[in-house]
Amino acid sequence: MNQFQTGCSRRRFLSTAAMAAGAGIMLRSRSTWAADAADPRVAEIVARTIGVDTHNHIDVPLTAAEMPGPDIDLRGEMKRSGLSAICMTFATDYQPGDAYERFHNGLAEMDRQLRLNGMKRSLTPADVRTAHKNRQPTIIQAIEGAHFLQGHVERVEEAYHRGLRLFGLLHDSDASVPLGDVYTNPPRFGGLTAFGASVIKECNRLGILIDLTHCSLQTTKMALKLSTRPVVFSHTGLDTQLGTDPRMAQMMRPRLISKGEARTISDNGGVVGVWTHLSDTALEYAQNIRAIVDVAGVDHVCIGTDTKLTTPYPPNGFRPGHPPPRIGGRTNEAWANQTVGFYYAVVDAMLKTGFSPDEIGKIGGGNFLRVFGSAVTM
């Protein structure tokens, strides 16, 4: 809270100074996002580009006994971040009980939070662009893990009609009817299963973008060969970018991809999202983005933080029977001493790393929107 108050004071000071110089009028006319950037190019790029976090966990209760959950300031946090859209993600495989019921509860609670924040889901890239043009934050509905399907492929269409547009096929644990091998677990299925193949075909038919994060290398190769549309690997990093904390590197290493795997995804028209893990500063994060760009190409990289934009639920981030708080932490507090919103910090760091404004626009959201469009256009 003190960090946020400090950031607010700094924003008021910078705004006053900018108005005196005449620059503040220009910036406010271009954007209603909360700008806090010493370099006016940063605020200009944030206003002009569509920043998308392709993997952001928004915590809501998933059991009827816990609903409704606390109100969350999704709109406020998005404006602070500078992001135009997030892929609003939840998972159903941690809690005991029926995953299908948790899926419905999670969507119902997210419906409530969107109403409270005056927001709605974007179902197509055109929806995202319209929201950005109108300076309205928006979300793309995502889920991590197909546990709610329980072997019923027809539930994919049900999820589509509830607004799901980004489908992470696997998560940390196997579904009751598995779709394929998870990259952090011992291989059991020889890659993609027959049920997993049927889910990919259904996503292609309906127009749902497939996320292969958490898939083993063999599962990924089989899925890429089968899918008729590009896919996303929404949150990962290169196995050459291990950061400075050996303990963190050891924990994250099974979740990283090789240069060869990054090329395979890009060769199939997909994009790779770079998470904030293994970077202690925004500049290190930009350098991790550069490392994947050097391998996969500037048209095949995006942002996928694997963080939480809003307050974790439950508030302390942990309860018996649930996993500990996610490593990524809060999006707008991704790095120590961060006094600006997430996308402002990233744009500033990418400029310092040598990215051009056009390249930032591609990586910031343009590449993801292109692949999203390829998936949902029938």
Domain ranges of the chain: 31-376
What are the C-alpha distances in Å from 140 to residues 5, 128, 210, 375? 30, 8, 13, 13
| pLDDT greater at residue 366 or residue 249 | 366
pLDDT, one tens digit per residue, over 73-132 is 999 999 999 999 999 999 998 776 799 999 999 999 999 999 999 999 999 999 999 999
- Across all residues in the chain, what is the average pLDDT? 88
Dist CA 49 CA 71 (whole Å):
29
Domain 31-376 has CATH 3.20.20.140: yes
Give pLDDT, residue 370: 98
Dist CA 239 CA 246 (whole Å):
13
Contact of 57 with 329, CB cutoff 8 Å? no
Contact of 210 with 372, CB cutoff 8 Å? no
Give pLDDT, residue 315: 65
pLDDT, one tens digit per residue, over 190-229 is 999 999 999 999 999 999 999 999 999 999 999 999 999 9
- Give yes or no for residue 140 having a pLDDT over 60: yes
Give pLDDT, residue 324: 45
- Give yes or no for residue 20 having a pLDDT over 90: no
The pTM of this model reads: 0.88
- Give yes or no for residue 30 having a pLDDT over 50: no
DSSP 259-277: HHHHHHHHHTT-EEEEPST
Confidence of residue 150 (pLDDT cuts 50, 70, 90): very high
57 beta partners: 89
State the average pLDDT over residues 159-179. Answer: 96
pLDDT, one tens digit per residue, over 343-368 is 999 999 999 999 999 999 999 999 99
Give pLDDT, residue 317: 53
DSSP letter assigned to residue 330 = B
- Chain centroid offset of residue 202 CA: 23
State the average pLDDT over residues 48-55. Answer: 98
Give pLDDT, residue 94: 77
Collapsing DSSP states into helix, strand and coil, what is residue 283? Answer: helix
Contact of 84 with 138, CB cutoff 8 Å? yes
